[in-house]
């Protein structure tokens, strides 16, 4: 199968390139930089997703497209950052889908990233793929992002939206930022720690994207492990895996001081369960947090 990937230089994209290449798929990376470092045999096409539709040569021969590109959310927000976060997802996806619509034979499948931010902060409510979106900034961005991806269905494409949770990998993402204070023994829960965290091991998330390409699933998939945990449980499990204490909670005012509005994302309670992947037969290698952290940390 020929697969085109946007955002392949990120944490998920790098793992996907490795996994998909290992099973013989033909791969093309679409990047802002033509000189992007990719494994041997992987094609690269330059494209700035804000500049207009993707080049025809990037998608012409594709059987499937995996769309991961987007401005990082984990940074201090201001008006310009929020604009970039939204436009990179909404306009970027629109420009990709416009290119797909111009093809005489468009790819059969589009698998687009989304995020559990779609649901907003919902306390103890169990959130499945059919749960309604929230109306916060990030939730509205996710809903608009997914709407642009779903537009590809007009061309007869099968569209899958993977709503990604907290991705666990020691080399990047949220966990990489958490590790230094925990390794120094000064880690702890965020706020009261009662907020739910929906997490997933990077290997399982990459496998879910591959599953979405190779199986006849469609619609939303919650890209999380089947057992969400509270932030307090997460921090205790992480501390145990590192053989360190977790006795220094980070107060809400401190998070707001450090991260501003983005602190709402860190404090959001999202008890998301992967009902659709389970129903489709997807299997996790790391369904529970202790085993996932042990693997990620090499313990």
CATH assignment of the domain containing 151: 3.40.50.720
Q: Which residue from 71, 57, 100, 53 is spatially nearest to 7, judged by alpha carbons? A: 71
Q: What's the mean per-residue pLDDT of the chain?
A: 95
**Residue 81 clears pLDDT 70, i.e. is over it:** yes
Indicate whether 17 belongs to any domain: yes
Average pLDDT over residues 99-123: 97
Question: Model-level pTM greater than 0.85?
Answer: yes
Q: What is the pLDDT of residue 33?
A: 76
Indicate whether 49 belongs to any domain: yes
Indicate whether 241 belongs to any domain: no
Tell me how crowded residue 28 is: count the other CB atoms within 10 A of its CB: 22
Please count the helices (runs of H) and the strands (runs of E) in the chain: 11, 13
Q: What is the pLDDT of residue 179?
A: 93
Q: What is the pLDDT of residue 274?
A: 98
Question: Which token pair is 22?
Answer: 């290992």
Q: What is the pLDDT of residue 32?
A: 86
Q: Say if CB 141 and CB 188 are below 8 A apart.
A: no
Indicate whether 259 belongs to any domain: no
pLDDT band at 49 (very low <50, low <70, confident <90, very high): very high
Higher pLDDT, 161 or 174: 161
Q: Which residue from 143, 6, 120, 129 is spatially nearest to 65, judged by alpha carbons? A: 6
Whose tokens are 């984990």? That residue is 74
pLDDT band at 44 (very low <50, low <70, confident <90, very high): very high
User: 3-state DSSP call for residue 111?
Assistant: strand
Indicate whether 102 belongs to any domain: yes
Is beta strand 158-164 parallel, antiparallel or unpaired with respect to 219-223?
Answer: parallel
Give the domain range for residue 11.
Answer: 2-167+199-226+271-285
Indicate whether 64 belongs to any domain: yes
Average pLDDT over residues 201-229: 98
Indicate whether 248 belongs to any domain: no
Domain count, the chain: 1
Indicate whether 242 belongs to any domain: no
**Residue 163 clears pLDDT 80, i.e. is over it:** yes
Tell me how crowded residue 285 is: count the other CB atoms within 10 A of its CB: 12
Q: What distance in Å separates the CA atoms of residue 35 and residue 51, rounded to the nearest whole number?
A: 18
**Residue 252 clears pLDDT 80, i.e. is over it:** yes
């Amino acid at each position: 199968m020929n697969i085109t990937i946007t955002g392949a230089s990120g944490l998920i994209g790098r793992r996907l390139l490795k996994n998909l290449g290992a099973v013989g798929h033909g791969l093309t990376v679409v990047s802002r930089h033509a000189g992007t470092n990719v494994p041997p045999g992987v094609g690269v096409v330059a494209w700035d997703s804000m500049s207009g539709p993707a080049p025809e040569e990037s998608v012409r021969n594709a059987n499937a497209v995996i769309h991961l590109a987007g401005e990082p959310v984990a940074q201090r927000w201001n008006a310009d950052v929020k604009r970039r976060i939204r436009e990179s997802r909404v306009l970027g996806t629109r420009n990709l889908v416009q290119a797909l619509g111009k093809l005489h034979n468009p790819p059969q499948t589009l698998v687009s990233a989304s995020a559990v931010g779609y649901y907003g902060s919902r306390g103890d409510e169990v959130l499945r793929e059919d749960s309604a979106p929230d109306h916060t900034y990030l939730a509205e961005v996710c809903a608009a992002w997914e709407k642009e991806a779903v537009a590809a269905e007009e061309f007869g494409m099968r569209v899958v939206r993977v709503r990604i949770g907290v991705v666990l990998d020691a080399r990047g993402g949220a966990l990489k930022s958490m590790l230094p204070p925990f390794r120094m023994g000064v880690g702890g829960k965020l706020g009261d720690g009662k907020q739910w965290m929906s997490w997933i091991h990077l290997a399982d998330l990459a496998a879910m994207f591959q599953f979405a390409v190779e199986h006849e699933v469609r619609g939303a998939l919650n890209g999380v492990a089947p057992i969400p945990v509270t932030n307090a449980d997460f921090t205790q499990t992480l501390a145990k895996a590192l053989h360190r204490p977790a006795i220094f909670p980070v107060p809400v005012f401190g998070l707001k001081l450090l991260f501003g509005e983005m602190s709402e994302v860190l404090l959001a309670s999202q008890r998301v369960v992967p009902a659709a992947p389970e129903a489709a037969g997807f299997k996790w290698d790391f369904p529970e947090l202790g085993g996932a952290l042990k693997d990620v940390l090499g313990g």
